[in-house]
Amino acid sequence: MYRLRFSPALVSALALGAALSACGSPEPEPISTDGGVASVAAPERPMANGLSVQAIEQAGFAPPQAQTQPQPQPGQATTAPTTPPQPAADMPRADLIRAQILLDRSPWSPGAIDGLDGVAMKRAVKAFQTASGVTATGELDAATFAKLIGSDDRPVLSGYQITAQDVAGPFIGALPETTEAKAQLPALGFTTAREALAEKFHITEALLEALNPGVDFARAGQTIVVPAISTAPLSAEVARIEVNKAEGTVSAFDASDRLLAVYPATIGSEERPAPSGDLKVVGVANEPDYTYDPTRLTYGNGKEKLVVAPGPNNPVGTVWIDLSRDTYGIHGTPEPQEIGKTASNGCVRLTNWDAEQLAAAVKPGVDVKFI
């Protein structure tokens, strides 16, 4: 099912064979897949965490209230706080869900839609603020939210009927932890139908479940609530890529230096930093395998060469953009919710869908500048 496929440009550029040594404003359109079109009305059903379709669709900016308590005057008894407690940091907010879906449909990717005010969200907000003339703080505020919803007034949620293809698999169950165990599998496919559906709609499994509590995602025929995302390609070919290590972003520009997209990224680590200076795109491999070769890499303590089969849970995800420095590339990830939160082994890691969008618009010779 998951075969290694190279673009013709890459095949002509280099002979990677079956192993890649890895370091581990388009107009939005309704999502269309070979399994159906997510264009029906989102069903109104009870959701977790007090969410509802109506609350998300009509959400205005509503930051968590700070926990404040008036200071007692001399001789005055201490009273209970007069404001409600601040929501838990891991509780999705309706306004953030709405904002993230709108950002997903814009050139400013928020990474995985989770309804939380995380690192990837802040990077997307900052990119949108910069492009919109709002003070670029990276924090969603009333002015930014107003501009965001003013740019796109279409519904942010949609209904999607789970198809037989969605649940057909094959699914691999629990993902092995070690490279050795992963190398024993014939493919690194999705673990479950729920994970596959979450990736299809750019959402975390946790939020997908919160929007559809009690749903058996492995049963075809059910209509579920999903983000109304866009799968539109970039509006032009990419002529230049900028990898900003300090900001944790990857920006794509066209031949006239117009900004096409900004993606949140995991870029190297303190132990294995990403390169600096100017590189070039050598080629693109879709559904690459992953090779751990201790003679070529500077991380890990493995003693033997291992090849991990392709698939969305492959260590480099579903696509590899090869760069003109041995073993370095821009690639996807099996853990989209961790983008910007964990380190990489020197490479540049994006969500699979962001990496695929970028890869579809690049050719060998594109400049890649690390700053």
**Res 86: pLDDT:** 46
**Res 74: pLDDT:** 57
Crossing angle (nearest 10°) for helices 119-132 and 94-104: 60
Cβ neighbours of 76 (radius 10 Å): 9
Rounded Cα distance between 68 and 128, Å, is 31
Q: Which residue has the tokens 């968590």?
A: 64
What are the structural domains of the chain? 5-25+234-370 (2.40.440.10), 27-58+93-232 (no CATH)
Quick one: which of 271, 263, 272, 268 has its CA closest to 242? 263
Classify residue 84 by burial, with Cβ atoms within 10 Å: 0-12, 13-18, 19+.
Answer: exposed
**Res 224: pLDDT:** 97
Q: Residue 234 has which token pair?
A: 């970039």
Kindly state the helix (H) or strand (E) to which residue 314 belongs, with its residue range.
none
**Res 273: pLDDT:** 72
Q: Residue 266 has which token pair?
A: 């995991």
> How many residues comprise the chain?
371
pLDDT digits (tens), the chain, 371 positions:
333 334 444 433 333 333 344 454 334 444 443 333 456 889 888 899 889 999 999 999 998 764 344 455 555 554 444 434 445 667 899 999 999 999 999 999 999 999 999 999 999 999 999 999 999 999 999 999 999 999 999 999 999 999 999 999 999 999 999 999 999 999 999 999 999 999 999 999 999 999 999 999 999 999 999 999 999 999 999 999 999 999 999 999 999 999 999 999 999 766 667 889 999 999 999 999 999 887 765 555 557 889 999 999 999 999 999 999 988 999 999 999 999 886 566 689 999 999 999 999 999 999 999 99
**Res 346: pLDDT:** 62
Rounded Cα distance between 96 and 137, Å, is 16
**Res 2: pLDDT:** 30
Residues 6+ apart with CB under 8 A from 220: 162, 163, 164, 166, 167
Give Dmax (Cα) for the chain. 83
Residues 6+ apart with CB under 8 A from 230: 26, 28, 29, 30, 31, 104, 105
Q: pTM for this one?
A: 0.85
**Res 68: pLDDT:** 40
Cβ atoms 227, 156 nearer than 8 A: yes
**Res 38: pLDDT:** 52
**Res 298: pLDDT:** 52
